[in-house]
Structure 1
Amino acid sequence: MKWVDNTRQQMHKGANSIGNLLVEGFHYIGLFAIGGVTAWASIIAFMEMLEKGHASVDGVLLLFIYLELGAMVGIYFKTNHLPIRFLLYVAITALTRYLIGDVSHHKAPDVGLVYACGGIFLLALSVLAVRYASYRYPSSKPIDATGDVVKDKAESH
């Protein structure tokens, strides 16, 4: 019954290959879509600033958010890893933008101001914790672009 085992293994390899192709295809289509929409949105925001004839702090912070999102897409495209720090930076920038917009455009500061500042502070502490953890406890197994663990030369012998 060796031929049954060989057939099963070949079928398993084929299914894995097809599954990997579909997953990677979806991955690339999604990344290109997200990258394209991010670029499109940043161009529209920039064009709106040009139409107004001036740039506000809100607009500049929005462009920083788009820049960070674009950087995340680029890093994810190259490494297949989503750096959590970039998400935290986007969240900090978004809360800062909200805070500035809320205070300068709408109403007198209230308890919402304290909540927004507290959120920014907690996110900044999160960045510090993530950076410390990645420095203190680096990933022991590097992963290549296909998602497979890269083997050391010592492991392969």
Structure 2
Amino acid sequence: MKWADRMRERLHAGANSIGNLGVELFHYVALFGIGAITVYAGITTFIDMLHQEKISVDDILLLFIYLELLAMSGIYFRTNHMPLRFLLYIGVTALIRLLISDVSHHKSPDEGILYLTGGVVLLSVSILVVRYASARFPSVKEKTD
């Protein structure tokens, strides 16, 4: 009976090691893929911007979104933790980009502007809550930062 238990434990440990290796390999491949696609998108957007007669603020904010995506991938690569705050920063930047684009192209204020600014305020409050939780409760920091 003891021989069978030892054999089962060895098989379980081997399967566990192979599974962990597979998960790590997938993380690295996915992170490099996301990083490469983001760099490619940023470079092509930058080149397209150079061919325009006029570069707008929403074009520049799009480059900031690419930069934040790369920073988020780099942090995840180094720490194996998803930086929640960076997702919120990307959301704020995207909403502000949409707001600037909407105001500069349509020039007629409507309730959509209120929805966008409300979204920016909501995401900003979320960032404050996450930062407060990270500073106040160190065990939460590992999960949210």
Which category of TM-score, normalised to the shorter sequence, fits these structures?
Answer: over 0.9
Partner of 2:139: 139
Partner of 2:106: 106
Aligned residues, how many?
A: 143
Higher relative contact order, chain-length normalized (CA < 8 Å, sep 6+): 2
Counterpart CA distance in 2 for 1:141 and 1:53 is 45
What amino acid is aligned across from residue 76 of structure 1 in structure 2?
Y
1:86-105 → structure 2 map (5 Å cutoff): 86-105=86-105
Asked whether the equivalents of residues 81 and 142 of structure 2 are also in contact (C-alpha less than 8 Å), the reply is: no
Matches within 5 A, 1:112-131: 112-131=112-131
Alignment of 1:34-73 (within 5 A): 34-73=34-73
Q: Gapped runs of 5+ residues in structure 1?
A: 144-157
What displacement does 1:141 show? 9.5
Which stretches in structure 2 are left out of the alignment for 5+ residues?
none
Aligned to 1:152: none
- Structure 1 position 54, deviation (Å): 3.9
CA deviations over 1:87-136 (Å, ceiling 9, x no partner): 00000000000000011113511000000000000000000000000000
Bigger drift between 105-114 and 128-137 goes to: 105-114
Q: CA offset at residue 52 of structure 1? A: 1.2
* Deviation for aligned residue 1:56: 1.2
| Secondary structure class of the residue paired with 1:52 | coil
Instruction: Tell me the amino acid that sits aligned with residue 68 of structure 2.
Output: E
In structure 1, distance between residues paired with 2:55 and 2:46:
9
Q: TM-score, normalised by structure 2?
A: 0.94
Query: What fraction of aligned residue pairs are identical, expressed as a percent?
Result: 61
Partner residue in 2 for 1:146: none
TM-score after normalising by structure 1: 0.87
Moved beyond 6 Å, runs of 4+: 140-143
Name the CA distance, whole Å, in 1 between partners of 2:53 and 2:107.
25
2:128 alignment partner AA: L
Q: Secondary structure at the match of 1:109?
A: coil
Q: Which residue of 2 aligns with 1:19?
A: 19
Distance in 2 of aligned mates of 1:124 and 1:14: 46
Alignment CA distance shift 1:64-1:137 (3 Å): same
| Structure whose residues are more often helix by fraction | 2
Amino acid at match of 1:97: R
Contact preservation (8 Å) 2:35, 2:70: yes
**CA–CA separation in structure 2 for the residues paired with 1:91 and 1:118:** 12
Q: Establish whether residue 8 from structure 1 lines up as the match of residue 8 from structure 2.
A: yes
For the aligned residues, what is the CA RMSD? 1.6
What's the secondary structure of 2:62's corresponding residue? Answer: helix
